[in-house]
Amino acid sequence: MNPRVKKVKYQDPYQLVITFSNDEIKLFNLTNYLDYPIYKTLKDTAFCKKVKVSMGTVAWDDVIDFDPDTLYLESIPFQ
């Protein structure tokens, strides 16, 4: 099992700086997901900036979230 999300911060354009439970800090790019119907709402940057940590992953409301394994495996190290 990969680490879970401990902290998240939105960074322009469409990127998340994520701190994981193992204290790694990584950058996740949302751009590749914005054309999927479930994630189209995230194109509104005001809404996208409302990202929060929920149950070990990132979420925006009761419908939009990401698999925490996807976040960890597809993100890159961030300094």
> From CA 65, how far away is CA 13, in angstroms rounded?
18
CATH for 3: 3.30.2020.10
Run of H or E residues at 46: helix 45-48
Q: How many domains is the chain built from?
A: 1
Run of H or E residues at 37: none
46: in domain: yes
71: in domain: no
Q: Which domain holds residue 31?
A: 1-54
| Predicted TM-score of the model (pTM) | 0.95
Q: Residue 30's closest CA among 20, 21, 39?
A: 39
61: in domain: no
67: in domain: no
Q: pLDDT by residue for the chain (79 residues), tens digit each?
A: 899 999 999 999 999 999 999 999 999 999 999 999 999 999 999 999 999 999 999 999 988 999 999 999 999 999 7
44: in domain: yes
